[in-house]
Structure 1
Amino acid sequence: MRDRTMQITIRGHHLTITPAIEENIKSKFGEMTKHLDQVNSMQVKLSKDHQIDKRTHKGSSNHIAEAIVRLPGIELFAQASADDMYTSIKKLSEKLKRQLQKHRKIQCTYQQVIVPI
């Protein structure tokens, strides 16, 4: 069994990617290769959306995390948002894990139908 490392590209929009955020992303998404070793690459986009309430004139920040996971023949997309960047990254990783598990289940079912035993 060969060791595959997944290429993770991290981009920030209206925020700076700190080493702590980068390490958090790599630890959360690096384990996705355990779920499915066919993952070729992943793009993660982190952004910060400033919203101002018109009545109170107070601002709030919404942290958004998006990811595209490339598999042979398919791309998976997920998006999550929260008040904290680390929370949005955690929600995003959970969404992608569910999508990967669903994809793996479909692949196993498809292979069982195609290949007679």
Structure 2
Amino acid sequence: MRDRIMQITIRGHHLAITPAIEENIKAKFNQLTKHLDQVNSMQIKLTKDHQIDKRSHKGSSNHVAEAIVRLPGIELFAQATADDMYTSIKKLTEKLKKQLLKYRKMQCTYSQVAVSI
């Protein structure tokens, strides 16, 4: 596999991106793409959503993680929500892993069809 520097852009909305969150994201996404070197770039958006219950007037926070992964000819999108940002990042990587495996399987299938013709 060739060595490539993948561009990972991390943005926070109503949330400060701490070095711990940034390192967690980079570790998870580098692990996610170690077998697929075709990833051009990733954009990750972390949002802290405040919701207020009308009856109790108490607030709760949803932590939303979204990612766009750009591959040659295709963009993958995933979104995950949890009560904790680290949990939403974990769910996000699991969703993207499924999509990347599906993409990789599709690429292998097309290359086998092209060879057999």
- Deviation, 1:2, is 2.5
Partner of 1:40 in structure 2?
40
TM superposition outliers: structure 1 runs of 4+ over 4 Å: none
- Deviation, 1:39, is 0.3
TM-score (norm 1): 0.96
CA contact (8 A) 2:6 2:40 kept: yes
Residues 57-68 of structure 1 aligned to structure 2 (within 5 Å): 57-68=57-68
Distance across 2 between alignment mates of 1:45 and 1:107: 28
Partner of 1:85 in structure 2?
85
TM-score (norm 2): 0.96
Distance across 2 between alignment mates of 1:83 and 1:35: 30
Q: Structure 2, unaligned stretches of length 5 or more? A: none
Counterpart check, 1:27 vs 2:20: no
Give the percent of matched residue pairs that are identical in Structure 1 and Structure 2: 84
Q: Structure 1, unaligned stretches of length 5 or more? A: none
Q: CA RMSD in A?
A: 1.1
Partner of 1:56 in structure 2?
56
Distance across 2 between alignment mates of 1:71 and 1:3: 16
How many residues get paired?
A: 117
